[in-house]
Chain A
């Protein structure tokens, strides 16, 4: 019962926010709808029993990435973000006229169909477990995995983050001599 409430609310929040995110003209509203969508995805993780991943999602995205994006928006233009709605064709940068659009969508359709036929075999060979395991707390198991079989990835991720920190700090830092 609770599972269904959680699942349906989260799914509705996720899908609704992502549609609104596409629909809205204001960039800051778009970012807030992204926030709603991410919280919905955290709820979906929870409904899958991935409690640690769900909380990580809230911690990193809500507390970090969304605020970082809002900061970046304030640094780059504030209220100028309300964009005019454009015609459908103008929105597709690479296909300026109707003819090329129609041809391209035809080609894409055929391509997708053939891909789907090919991949169908692989997907149908995936066996879903008969008995899905019940929820159990996952932190300790994740900790054990992180220092045993995934230890290299664990250490490398810190190197990746160091690189991101140094690189982004160098890029964003004001150049010397240019006063603030």
Chain B
């Protein structure tokens, strides 16, 4: 068998399977044990006892997107940094420490300059910055 060693991943599949089974089992058990008597008032989305007005969706602020954007850039960069971090120790023991340090630091430095830009422009602020700039513009 050429794929003998691939089986180290088998426990992951088994744990995933157990999660699926647990979920289905819990839902089935609850289905048999619990009552089911829906009515209109019970099924109404909770809005502190009032009748719900309109759809649930409301306009969200674009800052949610900006947070997601910065996150995804960091995420991808960390993915690329992990393999280099793994061989860092080996390279140091081979005497190539400064070479790999320079590569690593230049990569991190570009990452930092990105976050520094966003910080300066106020993308990292959750509330204040936009109103601040607009007040300054109005003056």
Chain A positions near chain B (C-beta within 8 angstroms) = 2-3, 5-6, 46-47, 49, 51-52, 56, 59-60, 63-65, 67-68, 71-72, 74-75, 77-79, 131-136, 139-140, 142-144, 146-147, 151, 154-155, 157-159, 161-162, 164-166, 168-169, 172-174, 176-180
**Could you tell me if B82 and A139 are in contact, using CB atoms closer than 8 angstroms?**
yes
- Judged by a CB distance under 8 angstroms, whether B138 is at the interface is yes
Which residues of B have CB within 8 Å of A79?
55-57
Separation of A158 and B10 alpha carbons in the complex (Å): 35
In the complex, what residue of chain B is closest to A54 when comparing beta carbons? B9
Please state if B4 and A134 are interface contacts (CB–CB under 8 Å). yes
Given contacts A71-B64, A179-B134, contact A165 B69 (CB under 8 A): yes
Q: Is the CB of A135 within 8 A of B69?
A: no
C-alpha gap A99/B117 in the complex (Å): 55
Chain B's interface size range is 35 or more
B3 touches A136 (CB 8 A): no
Are B83 and A2 in contact, CB atoms less than 8 angstroms apart? no
Roughly how many angstroms separate A141 CA and B99 CA in the complex, as a whole number? 18
Q: Which of B22-30, B31-39, B106-114 lies at the interface?
A: B106-114
B89 to chain A, nearest CB (A): 11
Contacting pair B3 A2 (CB below 8 A): yes
